[in-house]
Amino acid sequence: MPYEMILTETPAPGVGLARLNRPQALNALNSQITREIFDALEAFDRDDSIGCIILTGSDKAFAAGADIKQMADTDAVGMMGDDFTDWSRMSRVGKPIIAAVSGWVLGGGCEMAMMCDLIVASETAKFGQPEISIGIIPGAGGTQRLTRAVGKAVAMEVMLGSRNLTALEAQTAGLVNWVAPVETYLDEAIQLASKIAEMPRVAVRLIKDAVNKAEELPLSAGLDYEKRNFYLAFATEDKTEGMTAFVEKRKPQWKHR
Ligand code: CAA
């Protein structure tokens, strides 16, 4: 499928990479670029050769937020009719998505990174939700996901005070998995993705699904949900292979079934 605002590649076996590529606007997220990203993520999700997905931007900007120029002349009814901050398509991707981010990770850019399952950041990454500076509030999950990730105190400071977190602050606060030099963060994300892509894929999908449910469910309902996914894993050929390989002291040969 031809894309105009993103690039896609397979940088390692089993790894699909989608790159925001709108440098003149610091990868600001308009309707077209978000649609292309969701199309690419869904295509990788359907592709049996892919086990893990990376979403990245440039070293200068993962994304500087939703496109303010697109929103400037849009009223509430226009926003309701436009799907560019309805990112539910991304939530339905079953394979893990790693955000590999650098430079500006602002507004909708921060919200898109937080919709990924892991975040690898370059030392230059700056995370923020500066919507208050343009008279609005975060609208693609920032008030909810940032608060869950870093707690109320830091979330309030970021959103009310329009204060950006450095990569190390974001890691300390629990938003980011790890921080690497700008020269290597993408390679490190690819290594992590390769490792995940080698895992039995049904178990990978069931873990992603259950961990994400932990954000939404009370503990007892979450434990019930986990148990159902656990039992489902016992219905896979990879469960038999994994346990047999352990007993026979050999490496498992995953069938992803
Ligand atoms: N939307 C549209 N265009 C943007 C943009 C955005 N969010 N961010 C940057 N750009 C454009 C600029 O307009 C500029 O284009 P022109 O050369 O045509 O004028 C180009 O990208 C480069 O930007 P700057 O010249 O501003 O670069 P800088 O290095 O001086 O500053 C910056 C970088 C601090 C990130 C600054 O661009 C900025 O503040 N951007 C806006 C950040 C923001 O407010 N994001 C939140 C958006 S609202 C949102 O995301 C809502 C939501 O929750 C979904």
Is residue 86's pLDDT more than 90? no
The domain limits of the chain are: 6-197, 201-247
**Tokens encoding 244:** 């047999």
The pLDDT score that the predictor gives to residue 175 is: 97
Dist CA 12 CA 191 (whole Å): 8
Q: Please name the residue whose Cα sits nearest to atom 54 of ligand 1.
A: 108
Q: Report helix, strand or coil for 60.
A: coil
* Nearest atom (ligand 1) to Cα of 67: 1
pLDDT band at 81; cut points 50, 70, 90: confident
Please give the share of the chain, as a percent, with pLDDT higher than 90: 95
Mean pLDDT of 213-218: 95
Dist CA 187 CA 178 (whole Å): 13
CATH number 3.40.50.300 given to 6-197: no
For the annotated catalytic residues, the residue numbers are 66, 108, 111, 131
Amino acid at 5: M
Q: Which residues line ligand 1 (CB under 6 A)?
A: 25-26, 28, 64-69, 85, 104, 106-108, 111, 130-131, 133-134, 138-140, 142
Is residue 84's pLDDT more than 80? no
- Cα 64 to ligand 1 centre (Å): 5
Dist CA 133 CA 122 (whole Å): 25
At residue 252, what are phi and psi to the nearest 5 degrees? -70, 150
Q: Please name the residue whose Cα sits nearest to atom 11 of ligand 1.
A: 25
Compute CA distances 19 → 57, 120, 154, whole Å. 5, 14, 29
Query: Which of 17, 11, 205 is closest to 95 using CA atoms?
Result: 205
Q: Are 226 and 207 in contact (CB under 8 A)?
A: no
Dist CA 127 CA 110 (whole Å): 6
Fold of domain 201-247: Lyase 2-enoyl-coa Hydratase; Chain  A, domain 2 (1.10.12)
- Cα 230 to ligand 1 centre (Å): 44
Q: Please name the residue whose Cα sits nearest to atom 40 of ligand 1.
A: 64
Pairing of strands 52-56, 15-20: parallel
Is residue 56's pLDDT more than 90? yes
User: In a 10 Å sphere around its CB, with 0-12 CB exposed, 13-18 middle and 19+ buried, how is residue 142 labelled?
Assistant: buried
Query: Taking all residues of the chain, what is their mean pLDDT, rounded to a whole number?
Result: 96
Pocket mutation for ligand 1, best pick of 20, 59, 68 (most atoms within 8 Å of C-beta): 68
- Cα 238 to ligand 1 centre (Å): 47
The model's pLDDT over 137-176, given as tens digits with 9 standing for 90+, comes to 999 999 999 999 999 999 999 999 999 999 999 999 999 9
- Cα 26 to ligand 1 centre (Å): 7
Is residue 1's pLDDT more than 70? no
